[in-house]
Every structure is written in C-alpha cells, then in structure tokens.
C-alpha cells in the first residue's frame, strides 16, 4: 500500500450536504422489526428531495452487535438482517442515479473477537493471524486509556489459549489491530478497494487518532504513523479520483490539523469538534464569545480539505474539550439529570429535548451550523426534530427508529402491533415526516429551504472566513469567495439584540426572507433571530 496521491477530483465534498443514518433504524420493509437496504432504497427520493448530496451509512457489516455494529466480524460482507450485497449495490446505484454519493464507515482500528482473524490469533503466537493484533506476555502497567470508563476496567484482556494479554481500547470484545504490521495495512487497503468497486465514493474513518497510535512494532519502525492515512488516501484516489476520507478526530485544532497532512494528502474532511463544543457553551451562556473564539482560532487548511460541521453526531454529544467548569455549565443547561449524561464527558440527548422543543431556538441552531465555514452534516431525524429515548442504554439513546408517519411503529416497520423493534421508539414520537410534509411551516419544510439556500451559497464551503462581530449574544461572520460574499448574523439570546454591520457595500440581500438591510443602519434581531445576507 504505497504511492503518491496524484488523481484529482472536483472536490465535491467542499459544498456537499451529508446525511448520516443507521440502516437498521431507518425503514423496515419485511416486518422483522429491523430496517433494511430495501427500505432505505425506497426512501432515496425522500433524501434527494431534502437536498442530501452525500449519504453516510453507519456500519452495516456482519457483527455480534457488542458495540452497535462497530465490532465487525467480516469486512467483506453485509449483515444478513439488512439484506444482501446485491441489495447494497442496488441502493448505491439508486442513490447515484439521484445525484447522491454514498460513503460508509471504515472501522479498522479493531475487529470483533469473533472475527476469523482473532479466532485464529488467539490460538497461539504461531497462529497465522496472531501478529495482526497487539499482545503482551505480562500485563503492562500504567495509565489506562478507556473509551468506555465504568464499562471496562482495563485496556488489556487475557486470551486463554494464547496465554497472552491482548490490547483493546474499546470493549474487550474488540481486540485492537496492530496497524504497525504491513500485512494489516495491506488488508486495510484491500477493504477500501473492495467497497469502492461496489460503488461507494469514500469512507468515514472511525477514531483516527487511535488508529494511528503506535502501540507496537520494533522500536524505530514506522516512526511516522501518519503514513498509514497517506498511503490509504493515495491508494483509494488511484482507484477512484473523487474518493474521500472523512475522519473522526476529536482533538484541539493544533493537533487535529496534522491529520489533513502537510499537503492535504491525508484526510480530505474532518469533523469540527472544537467549534461544535464551543457552540454548545455559547448556547448555554447565550453569549457568542466561546464560539467566536473557537472560529477565530481555526487554522488555515489545504485547499483540498474541509471541515464537517454538525449539531449532533451519532454517539454522545461529547464535551471533552471543554474545561470541567464549562462542561458543568452545558450539563446544567441541557442535561442536568445524571441519566441524560454519559461517561462524565457528554450528553445522551438530541437537540429538541435539550432546547425544550423551542422551535425558534432549534431553527437558530441549524441556521448557525449550516452557515459556518465547512460542509453541513445531519444525523437522521434531525430534519423533523426527533427526540431521543433515554430508556435505551448508553450512547444508543439517540439511535431510535426513524419516525415516518402516525401509523403503528411510527411508520418505521410493517411488523404486527406489539412486535419488538430493533430499538424502541421514544415515548413521544409524534414528530414524523408525513405530518410535517403537510404543514408549510414545519421544521421539515423549513429545513428543505435552508438546505436549498446553503447549496446556492458556495461561499460557505469554499470561501475565506471572517468573524465580523462577536459581542454579547450576537455572532456575525462572513465568507468571501470568487468575488462574492455571504454574511450570517445570529442572536443566541431570548431577547432582542442590535448590531451594526460596517460593510463596504450598497445593501445586504436577505437570503432567507425578504428583509434586505442597509449596512449603515442598526440591525435589530428578534429573540433567537438570524439572517443570511448576500453582499451586493
């Protein structure tokens, strides 16, 4: 797996609209209570109508489901409860026909303990795949680095047959692969090439910093762990010129930027965790300062690269980059009960619940996210204001079934009444697609209009970003690109606010309404008010 990134693309990810979903919780067509590829394929036109241009599928590989599919037992197949590889390729073909690219999760920092590699490896140090994993004869001492504190007590587990300890950063059922091993790196490339051949256009890479940590290997070997991502990027780009790598890198900017590579030759996209966490602190304080500070500190990135912005990802709403005091502020505002929190670092709630279903405030937050420099990313159900189900344990609380209608099981499943679904619906599942489609003022119809306007503002994906005003509750920022500019203004408070935008232009054309503005005059913002303007 070697080579240099030479192929080019139109950098489609710079101005995409990404939609993340879990196939098993999206639409069930065979009545078994579990979503499937056939159901998702039936809803591709819904996603196209919403304005989605990139569909991100959470893991759909065979799995014992210890970690919601992230514990994979076969990288070259799909979970049979979701359908067949034929169903998967039909989904990809249909999405492409509607102008939607498909990316999938690439989870190669570990496998399931039931993967054939580990079942071989645990038989002894002479087993064929033993060196695919990280082993120790004596349990290492030192600080534990647990992803799930309280659920696991150590990063090391005992393999009886091998009579050795193996390393796992997640659950004990997820032994870590040794990415310092060239054979493992070659296998990762083969996995990437396999799914590209089936039509996917790239990957969301899980927990990238963990993937690159040098946990074993001879001293001095692979001194540059980033070579793994560089080689993978070059390989995939040779196979498909528009291939993309979207990385989960929850680190401060000064460390995260390393994962783009010095020449944009590693990750193409990266989730903007610092801005997301600062946004929630600003929302809790009703003060733009924390978010403005984070945005001003965003480093310059290679032209080929992009930040991915989000309101709510598919795990907990992580707040680990905030100080203990700041995190407590966000907890107090949006999840004061212990049952709403997880691992002491995050929240288990979706946005509408956190904001007491205040429609004005909900729309403010999505307007803000879509206007930030980068590519917007939605988690399924956000467009209708779905809530979480705290009765579902841990991080799965936000992954309840999609709510399509007022029919039984919220239209998610054709299973008989009383049948057990893959996950239970929230107690209040009144928000649904069918009902909101009939209401011109619904969140769904508003979201469609917002996405359409975002796609007509390439400045937000390609432009140079500037904070114009950040005082009290008001944040105003500007993106300039190719001789044009867009300005966005947001009031984070529940009271009116005023701001003067000193801009050298004739007028500001309102993109979300009909209230054009003279930049020389004071602008009055309603409580939780917002505007997008094109500079004329």
Report the alpha-carbon distance of residue 508 to residue 151 in Å, rounded: 53
Helix (H) or strand (E) holding 190: helix 182-197
Report the alpha-carbon distance of residue 177 to residue 39 in Å, rounded: 34
Catalytic residue among 248, 287, 316, 326: 248
3-state secondary structure 235-257: HHHHHCCCCEEEECCCCCHHHHH
Handedness of CA 180, 157, 129, 249 (dihedral sign): negative
Report the alpha-carbon distance of residue 234 to residue 5 in Å, rounded: 4
Cβ 399 vs Cβ 422: under 8 Å: no
Examine the residue annotation and report whether 186 is marked as an active-site residue of this protein: no
Examine the residue annotation and report whether 221 is marked as an active-site residue of this protein: no
Among residues 496, 517, 521, 498, the alpha carbon closest in space to that of 508 is found at 517
DSSP reduced 3-state for 382: helix
Among residues 534, 532, 527, the alpha carbon closest in space to that of 367 is found at 532
Say which residue the tokens 């989730």 belong to. Answer: 271
Cβ 480 vs Cβ 466: under 8 Å: yes
Token code pair at residue 220: 């001095």
Q: How far is CA 448 from CA 47, 458, 502, in A?
A: 10, 17, 31
End-to-end CA distance of the chain: 50
DSSP letter at 328?
H
b/e per residue 227-244 (b: at least 16 CB within 10 A): ebbbbbbbbbbeebebbb
**209-214 — which CB contacts under 8 Å span 24+ positions?**
209/249, 209/250, 209/251, 209/259, 210/109, 210/169, 210/176, 211/108, 211/109, 211/179, 212/179, 214/180
Catalytic residue among 206, 304, 326, 388: 206
Report the alpha-carbon distance of residue 190 to residue 60 in Å, rounded: 18
Cβ 374 vs Cβ 310: under 8 Å: no
Task: Classify residue 95 by burial, with Cβ atoms within 10 Å: 0-12, 13-18, 19+.
Answer: buried
Say which residue the tokens 């499937």 belong to. Answer: 36
Give start and end residues of each alpha helix (H) in 6-132.
37-42, 44-50, 85-97, 116-121
| Rg for the chain, CA atoms, rounded | 23
Tell me the β-bridge partners of 347: 317, 341
Q: What are phi and psi of 333, to 5 degrees?
A: -80, -35
Cβ 286 vs Cβ 473: under 8 Å: yes
Q: Among all residues, which ones are annotated catalytic? A: 206, 248
């Amino acid at each position: 797996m070697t080579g240099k990134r030479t192929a080019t693309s139109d950098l489609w990810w710079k101005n995409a609209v990404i939609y993340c979903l879990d196939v098993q919780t999206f639409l069930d067509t065979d009545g078994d209570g579990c979503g499937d590829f056939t159901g998702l394929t039936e809803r591709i036109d819904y996603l196209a109508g919403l304005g989605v241009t990139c569909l991100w599928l959470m893991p759909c590989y065979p799995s014992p489901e210890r970690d919601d599919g992230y514990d994979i037992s076969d990288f070259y197949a799909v979970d049979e409860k979701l359908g067949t590889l034929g169903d998967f390729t039909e989904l990809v073909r249909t999405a492409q026909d509607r102008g939607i690219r498909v990316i999938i999760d690439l989870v190669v920092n570990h496998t399931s303990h039931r993967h054939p590699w580990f079942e071989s490896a645990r038989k002894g140090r002479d087993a064929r795949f033993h060196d695919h994993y990280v082993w120790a004869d004596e349990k290492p001492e030192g600080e534990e680095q647990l992803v799930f504190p309280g659920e696991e007590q150590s990063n090391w587990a005992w393999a009886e047959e091998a009579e050795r300890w193996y390393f796992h950063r997640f659950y004990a059922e997820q032994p870590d692969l040794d990415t310092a091993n060239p054979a493992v790196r070659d296998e990762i490339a083969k996995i990437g090439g396999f799914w590209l051949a089936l039509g996917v256009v790239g990957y969301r890479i899980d927990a990238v910093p963990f993937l690159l940590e040098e946990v074993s290997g001879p001293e001095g070997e692979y001194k540059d762990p980033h070579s793994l991502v560089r080689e993978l990027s070059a390989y995939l780009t040779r196979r498909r010129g528009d291939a993309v790598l979207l990385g989960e890198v929850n680190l401060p900017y000064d460390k995260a930027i390393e994962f783009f590579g010095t020449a944009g030759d590693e990750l193409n996209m990266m989730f903007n965790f610092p801005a997301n966490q600062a946004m929630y602190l600003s929302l809790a304080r009703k003060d733009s300062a924390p978010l403005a500070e984070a945005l001003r500190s965003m480093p310059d990135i290679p032209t080929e690269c992009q930040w991915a912005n989000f309101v709510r990802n598919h795990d907990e709403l992580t707040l680990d980059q905030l100080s203990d005091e700041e995190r407590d502020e966000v907890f107090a505002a949006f999840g004061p009960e212990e049952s709403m929190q997880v691992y002491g670092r995050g929240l288990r709630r979706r946005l509408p619940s956190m904001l007491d279903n205040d429609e004005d405030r909900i729309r403010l937050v999505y307007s803000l996210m879509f206007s930030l420099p980068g590519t917007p990313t939605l988690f399924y159900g956000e467009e209708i204001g779905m809530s979480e189900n705290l009765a579902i344990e841990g991080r799965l609380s936000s992954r309840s079934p999609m709510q399509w209608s007022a029919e039984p099981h919220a239209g998610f499943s054709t299973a008989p009444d009383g049948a057990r679904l893959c996950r239970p619906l929230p107690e209040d599942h009144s928000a649904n697609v069918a009902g909101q489609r009939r209401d011109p003022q619904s969140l769904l119809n508003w979201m469609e209009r917002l996405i359409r306007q975002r796609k007509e503002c390439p400045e937000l994906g390609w432009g140079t970003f500037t904070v114009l005003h950040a005082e009290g509750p008001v944040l105003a920022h500007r993106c300039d690109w190719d001789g044009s500019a867009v300005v966005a203004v947001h009031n984070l408070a529940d009271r009116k606010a005023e701001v003067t935008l000193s801009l050298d232009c004739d007028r500001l054309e309102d993109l979300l309404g009909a209230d054009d503005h003279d930049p020389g005059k004071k602008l009055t913002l309603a409580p939780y008010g917002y505007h997008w303007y094109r500079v004329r």
